[in-house]
Amino acid sequence: MNELPTLPAPHVCEQARLSRDARFDGLFFTAVSSTGIYCRPVCPAPTPKRENVRYYANAAAAEAAGFRPCLRCRPELAPGNEQWQRGDHVVARALKLIEAGALAEQSLDDLALRVGIGARQLRRLFVERIGAPPVSVHTTRRLLFAKQLLTETALPVTEVALASGFRSLRRFNAAFAQANRIAPRELRRHPRAAAGAALVLRLGYRPPYAFDALLAFLRTRALPGVEQVDEHSYARVFGPANAPGWLRLSAWPGGEHALQLQLHCPQPTQLLGVVTTLRRMFDLDANPQAIADTFRRDAVLGPLLARHPGLRLPGGWDGFEIAVRAILGQQISVAAARTLATRIVQRWGEPLPAAPLPGLERSFPTPAALAQADLREIGLTTTRAATISGMAQALLDGRVDFRAEQSLDAFVARWVALPGIGEWTAHYIAMRALSDPDAFPAADLILRREAAPDAAPLSTKALTGRADAWRPWRAYAVIHLWRGASEAPSPARRKKPEATA
């Protein structure tokens, strides 16, 4: 059972607070006893006296101790700390489920059952490790999102309540006032967005962040009709074809450590889920310092890290969409796999009534659609077509899924049991659909070449052993090695195997 991360050492917190070090944003929060307020380490307010400062590992713990969020630095903008969700510890698994919305529809007993312990024991573990019980973690997350919507948008308060998971406006008003010592409407006295304007939200990250490199990865794999990626932004449609939403993500103007999300979401209840998915997809909660500490002294990864210190793990919007792309990418080039995926979208994707943005006109096919489709129509071999249809049916049957709480080993074991899916494909899906930081497709030929640049390619077994030193960040090693290979192409590397689907 993996250990959960702890609060940084007091002297580290103190130095980061005094220097307003953005690398520690979201890794801890500073609470001031004389004001009853908690802040991010980057807060621009005058520095409080040391004897009045307390440090908390997360916002929920600070609020459980009676502190309210700062209106200046706005703790809701801090990136999350994905290390709390890493590994197989029951608390980490429960945190993944809470982020996925488990407590929005289920009880604490149901959550405890999903992670295999009793509700009382889960509550005790949360208080010991997190500093707040599960329900408080869930409530703090919802209220901070509501605070961001109230501050940055002109959404009606009723819709803000729905977007943050409250079905009762009265309960929302009471919970918000208790946590913030201010009524929701008080934040609306000087709204930052005019009524009727596009919904624009700020999504923060810890620097360094190589947004250009992430866009480049997604651009070569973008599906025409469903998504568009250029040098500056990512855009896509989502939701049902009869009521689609759309989004565009780009760098926040002025060089701030944030991305700018422009969003049209027909249902307010979808907002938090969309933002959560984008934070995972664009790896906004990663801690680049922890990754760099593992790679910096490695003979292969060290130089790559120095060239691209902010590389992140490119996730995917939808697990089924990534699984289809992974199967299509087996043993063919990225361009060829994209061509086949585009044919699938054009043949079985549902057209939208009207394009919300130029070039965005179809939704990706559902598992039900591809389970019954004859995929040989678009040029797939009989075997490959059967693999995709069989995978789609397995999802419908519940034999495989993308549940947040499952371990990497359990996920891989279930997926490789499907015909036509090997370990490379299963690990690739885990890396992109689950954003598992330790997924590692060791059979990948490019990885085996790049891990031994001055010798013959490593065997799969040898590379697996070599990669033990890169745990628990092996998926980031994959991205660095693929990036390195793309920057120094050789005739042999132009023949792309399944490694970069």
Cα dist. 178→87, 165, 200, 248, 493 in Å?
34, 17, 27, 34, 59
pLDDT over 60 (residue 460): yes
Residue 39 annotated as catalytic: yes
pLDDT tens sequence across 144-186: 999 999 999 989 999 999 999 999 999 999 999 999 999 999 8
Q: Is the pLDDT of residue 453 over 90?
A: no
Same domain, 262 and 354: yes
Tell me if 252 is assigned to some domain: yes
Q: What is the SS3 assignment for 32?
A: strand
Taking only the tens place, the pLDDT of each residue in 242-295 is: 889 999 999 999 989 999 999 999 899 999 999 999 999 999 999 999 999 999
Q: What is the pLDDT of residue 175?
A: 97
Residues 110, 49 share a domain: no
pLDDT tens digits, 5-57: 678 999 999 999 999 999 999 999 999 999 999 999 999 999 999 999 999 99
Cα separations in angstroms, 353 against 226, 248, 257, 274, 341: 14, 20, 37, 22, 22
In a domain, 409, yes or no: yes
* Last-in-domain residue among 46, 76, 106: 76
At residue 89, the pLDDT reads 87
- State residue 454's pLDDT score: 85
Give every CB contact of residue 292 below 8 A, 6+ residues apart in sequence: 305, 309
Q: Which of 180, 210, 227 is the last residue of a domain?
A: 180
Q: What residues have CB less than 8 Å from 261, skipping those under 6 apart?
A: 200, 201, 202, 203, 247, 248, 249, 275, 278
173 and 261 co-located in one domain: no
User: Does residue 327 surpass a pLDDT of 70?
Assistant: yes
- The answer to whether the beta carbons of residues 391 and 419 sit under 8 Å apart is no
Per-residue model confidence (pLDDT) at position 487: 86
Q: Is 73 annotated as catalytic?
A: no
Domain boundary among 382, 410, 434: 434
CA–CA dist 244, 267 (Å, integer) = 10
CA dihedral 68, 74, 79, 81 (to 10 degrees): -10
**In terms of domains, do 345 and 403 share one?**
yes
Distance of CA 184 to CAs 35, 139, 172, 173, 189, Å?
20, 15, 9, 6, 10
Average pLDDT of the chain, as a whole number: 93
Whether 161 and 45 share a structural domain: no
Structure-model confidence comparison of residues 196 and 499, the more confident one? 196
| Helix (H/G/I), strand (E/B), else coil: 221 | coil
pLDDT of residue 194: 63
Residues whose CB falls within 8 Å of the CB of residue 28, separated by 6 or more in sequence, listed in order: 7, 8, 13, 16, 41, 55, 56, 57
In a domain, 53, yes or no: yes
Residue 455 pLDDT: 86
| Residue from 39, 43, 73, 265 carrying the catalytic annotation | 39
Residues 211 and 171 in one domain: no
Same-domain status, 43 and 104: no
Considering the domain architecture, whether residues 158 and 250 belong to the same structural domain is answered as: no
Instruction: Of 357, 325, 259, 373, give the one whose Cα is nearest residue 498.
Output: 325
pLDDT for res 155 = 92
175 and 208 together in one domain: no
Adjacent-strand bridge partners of 37:
32, 68
pLDDT at 3 over 70: no
Does residue 499 carry a pLDDT above 90? no
Question: Using an 8 Å Cβ cutoff, are 50 and 13 in contact?
Answer: no
Q: With 70 as the cut, is the pLDDT of residue 2 above it?
A: no
Instruction: Please give the single-letter amino acid code of residue 358.
Output: P
Instruction: Pull the structure tokens for residue 446.
Output: 């490019």
Domain assignment present for residue 334? The answer is yes
- Cα(24)–Cα(13) distance, rounded to whole angstroms? 8
Q: Which domain holds residue 68?
A: 10-76
The pLDDT confidence band at residue 134, using thresholds 50, 70 and 90, is very high
Task: Give yes or no for a contact between 199 and 152, defined as CB atoms under 8 angstroms apart.
Answer: no
Is residue 317 classed exposed, middle or buried when 0-12, 13-18 and 19+ CB atoms within 10 A define those classes? Answer: buried
Same domain, 29 and 69: yes
44 & 151 share domain: no
The CATH number of the domain holding residue 368 is 1.10.340.30
Strand order in the sheet with 37-39: 53-56, 29-32, 37-39, 68-69
Q: What pLDDT does 41 receive?
A: 97
pLDDT at 4: 58
Domain count, the chain: 3
Side-chain-side CA neighbours of 482 within 13 Å: the count stands at 26
Q: Choose, from 25, 283, 285, 444, the residue flagged as catalytic.
A: 444
Three-state SS string over 377-388 comes to: HHCCCHHHHHHH
Q: For residue 280, what is the enclosing H or E element?
A: helix 271-281
Burial class of 49 by CB neighbour count within 10 A (0 to 12, 13 to 18, 19+): exposed
- The torsion angles phi and psi of 259, rounded to 5 degrees, stand at -105, 155
Q: Which of 451, 480, 179 is nearest to 305 (CA)?
A: 480
Residues 262 and 374 both lie in one domain: yes
